[in-house]
A and B are shown apart, each in its own frame.
Chain A
Amino acid sequence: MTYLIAMGTQTGLFALLALSLNLQWGYTGLQNFGLVGFYAAGAYCYALTTTLLGWPTAAGILAAMAVGTLLAYPLGLASIRLRIGFYLAIVTLGFSETIRAVLVNEDWLTQGTRGIAVKLLFPGWGAAGNQTAMFGLILVAVIAVYLLFERVGQTPFGRTIEAIRDNEDAARSLGKPVTGFKIQVFMLGSAVTAGAGALNAIYVGYLVPDQFLSIITFYVWMAMIVGGSGSNRGVVLGCLVLVLLLEGSRFLKEVLPAALLFSDQRMAALRLMIIGLGLTVIPINWPRGLLGRKEL
């Protein structure tokens, strides 16, 4: 049971990230490859405001979301106004590596590689109680974000961003402020990503910079593409597939006889290879994913 709750929580955290990415890429066509940078910024912002400044949980989460939004603005301004989408891809990738460098180096603030402890949600409830509470909280967050983004998709704003994705010039010729819309979407998605980072901080209870490697970003891309970019239902399903895949290798270890197994290091490398192969092959041969509405 605790295992199922842990898996559910993991899926929920990935789902929050994948929903943000789907808003940015699936709806709007923004190539965000620095998702984990916003996730890390949110997590550390929560940890610092709640431990150093003693802020309450809700204030910490809001602060994390505010930081995500504020970080997204200059990045979006620098790259989104340019016509080539790749600039955002390169800039965000660089951003996430830079955030990690800051987390490692500024140890007067972040405790560097020693890591920083985060308070439990309900200190009186014990580990199991807190796990269940976190599962509930993250589930509520996923449902709220899901409904919000579904709703956004049906508003004039949502129809405009999809028009921008499908034909930017046409949207521009109709007088839509294309760049402004895109930057707003980038900021909204980053706010949710950073909020997910805060929830992750509470759930994990201890933050070190190496939890925020770029591979997390690529996991989320993989989940979104498998599920089907453009479909919120699809990407949540994709996250379930991703978690099953990641956990499956752990499961294999317990079932298979030792002689058939590789060392832990090789298993990790094998997992990387599977994710890499998926990211290479699926977008080419199967661009709609399970429930996707759009071609890549």
Chain B
Amino acid sequence: MIAFAQALANGISDGALLAMVALGITLVFGVARFPNVAHGEFLTLGAYGAYWCSSLLGWPLLAAVGGGIVLAIAAGLASYALVFRTVSQRPVTALLASIGLSILLRGAITFIAGSQQVSYDIPLWGAWDLAGLTLLPLDVLVTIASFVVILMVHLVLAKTPIGTRMRAVADNVELARTSGIDPQRINLATWSIALAVAALAGMFVAARTAISPDLGWNLLLPAFAAAVLGGLGSPYGAILAGLIIGLAQNIATLWISETYKVSFSFLILIAVLLIRPSGITGRKEMAR
């Protein structure tokens, strides 16, 4: 029973992070119509950016977080301007280019930072013991922060004019254009939000574990599975599916080896495609 509650607690922490990553992937898919394989590297860039700002430049916490976000957004918007904008009509080329970019960025990060793990200089807090349930204060803090980020994205999407326009462009570009929305500007806004969320997710993962050039790549597959389960292009689906996959992975580790966590998300992916390819909230025409 305690083991199950522990898996549940870990699952919510993992799930909130996965939800953030899947949200970024699905937002970009909504406007650009391709699954961005390089998305994971923006997590890694955010994590390293914050690390460099705090360890090398000695910036305070919030400034370092800001530095990580700025680095990820700068790299992401540069790749949008140089690469993805030029192939907006050729989604398969965009997918290939995103794989190339993913390898290029991982190579560049390894070249600069080396492949050894580093970690943030965070004071160690003792674990909380709640009736046998072990909770790390840092995990709790990161999980709360993840939900705050998700809530903020929700508020932007649902309550602001730019959010309405973003949903309009993701829904139907031509219709949005004829209503006087400039898709180019909305694309930039959507990419920026996805990149900022990715950078924060990268820092959160790094705070819970460690930073290495493979940080983002290792999360890509479960995040893709979550994006598909949620219905590609559907932000709320991605959030819900991220939580589901986080929980499912951790509950599954009660029976299977920890190292199969990622493979388990692959099985979920196959099952979703076989049973309900449009995802839990997705629209039918996405899959057919």
Q: A-side interface residues toward B, CB under 8 Å?
A: 31, 33, 74-75, 77-79, 82-87, 89-91, 93-95, 97-98, 101-102, 104-105, 215, 218, 221, 225, 262, 265-266, 268-281, 283-284, 287, 296
Hey, which chain B residues are within 8 Å of A268, CB to CB? 110
User: Are B96 and A296 neighbours in the complex by a CB distance under 8 Å?
Assistant: yes
- Known A94-B269, A105-B259, A284-B83; contact A272-B95, beta-carbon cutoff 8 A: no
Which residue from chain B places its CB closest to the CB of A90 in the assembled complex?
B224
User: Are B270 and A276 neighbours in the complex by a CB distance under 8 Å?
Assistant: no
Hey, which chain A residues are within 8 Å of B106, CB to CB? 272, 276
User: Are A101 and B269 neighbours in the complex by a CB distance under 8 Å?
Assistant: no
A269 CA / B107 CA spacing, docked (Å):
5
Can you list 23 A-B contacts (CB < 8 A)?
A79-B273, A82-B277, A85-B92, A86-B35, A86-B232, A91-B266, A94-B224, A94-B266, A94-B269, A104-B259, A218-B103, A221-B99, A265-B110, A269-B110, A272-B103, A273-B107, A273-B111, A275-B103, A275-B107, A279-B103, A280-B104, A284-B97, A296-B90
- Known A91-B269, A101-B260; contact A218-B287, beta-carbon cutoff 8 A: no
Hey, which chain B residues are within 8 Å of A77, CB to CB? 274
Of the residues B224, B259, B286, contact of A84 by C-beta under 8 Å: B286
A105 CA / B258 CA spacing, docked (Å):
10
A103 CA / B269 CA spacing, docked (Å):
20
A105 CA / B107 CA spacing, docked (Å):
27
Hey, which chain B residues are within 8 Å of A93, CB to CB? 37, 221, 224
Which residue from chain B places its CB closest to the CB of A281 in the assembled complex?
B100
Contacts A84-B287, A105-B260 aside, 8 further interface pairs with beta carbons under 8 A come to: A31-B92, A87-B287, A94-B266, A94-B269, A95-B266, A218-B100, A269-B115, A296-B90
**B179 CB–A CB distance under 8 Å:** no
Q: How many residues of B contact A (CB 8 A)?
A: 47
Interface residues of B in 70-97 (CB under 8 A from A): 83, 86-87, 90-93, 95-97
Hey, which chain A residues are within 8 Å of B266, CB to CB? 91, 94-95, 97-98
**B190 CB–A CB distance under 8 Å:** no
Q: Mark B126-163, 1 if CB is under 8 A from A, else 0.
A: 00000000000000000000000000000000000000
Q: Mark B200-232, 1 if CB is under 8 A from A, else 0.
A: 000000000000000000000100110010001
A91 CA / B224 CA spacing, docked (Å):
9
A83 CA / B99 CA spacing, docked (Å):
21
Q: Mark B253-288, 1 if CB is under 8 A from A, else 0.
A: 000010110110110011001100100000000111
**B101 CB–A CB distance under 8 Å:** yes
CB distance from B226 to the nearest CB of A (A): 11
A95 CA / B270 CA spacing, docked (Å):
10
User: Are A273 and B262 neighbours in the complex by a CB distance under 8 Å?
Assistant: no
Nearest 9 CB-CB pairs, A to B?
A279-B100, A276-B104, A272-B107, A276-B103, A280-B100, A273-B107, A94-B266, A269-B111, A269-B110
Of the residues A84, A98, A225, A271, contact of B96 by C-beta under 8 Å: A225
A237 CA / B61 CA spacing, docked (Å):
52
Of the residues A31, A83, A271, contact of B288 by C-beta under 8 Å: A83
Question: For the complex, would chain A's binding face be called helix, strand, loop or mixed by DSSP majority?
Answer: helix
**B58 CB–A CB distance under 8 Å:** no
A215 CA / B217 CA spacing, docked (Å):
12
Of the residues A74, A75, A90, A270, contact of B107 by C-beta under 8 Å: A270
Which residue from chain A places its CB closest to the CB of B258 in the assembled complex?
A105
CB distance from A35 to the nearest CB of B (A): 13
- Known A82-B287, A83-B288, A90-B228; contact A283-B97, beta-carbon cutoff 8 A: yes
CB distance from B65 to the nearest CB of A (A): 27
Hey, which chain B residues are within 8 Å of A31, CB to CB? 92, 95
**B105 CB–A CB distance under 8 Å:** yes
User: Are A89 and B35 neighbours in the complex by a CB distance under 8 Å?
Assistant: yes
Q: Which of B90, B97, B273 has the most CB of A within 10 A?
A: B273
A83 CA / B287 CA spacing, docked (Å):
6
A84 CA / B257 CA spacing, docked (Å):
33
**B42 CB–A CB distance under 8 Å:** no
A78 CA / B225 CA spacing, docked (Å):
14
Which residue from chain B places its CB closest to the CB of A272 in the assembled complex?
B107
Hey, which chain B residues are within 8 Å of A270, CB to CB? 107, 111
A287 CA / B110 CA spacing, docked (Å):
29
**B48 CB–A CB distance under 8 Å:** no
A46 CA / B132 CA spacing, docked (Å):
48
- Known A296-B90, A296-B92; contact A91-B102, beta-carbon cutoff 8 A: no
Of the residues A85, A225, A265, contact of B114 by C-beta under 8 Å: A265
A75 CA / B273 CA spacing, docked (Å):
10
CB distance from B214 to the nearest CB of A (A): 11
Interface residues of B in 223-256 (CB under 8 A from A): 224-225, 228, 232
Hey, which chain B residues are within 8 Å of A97, CB to CB? 221, 262-263, 266
A104 CA / B258 CA spacing, docked (Å):
12
User: Are A98 and B263 neighbours in the complex by a CB distance under 8 Å?
Assistant: yes
CB distance from A227 to the nearest CB of B (A): 15
**B34 CB–A CB distance under 8 Å:** yes
**B3 CB–A CB distance under 8 Å:** no
Which residue from chain B places its CB closest to the CB of A275 in the assembled complex?
B103
Hey, which chain A residues are within 8 Å of B260, CB to CB? 101, 105
**B175 CB–A CB distance under 8 Å:** no
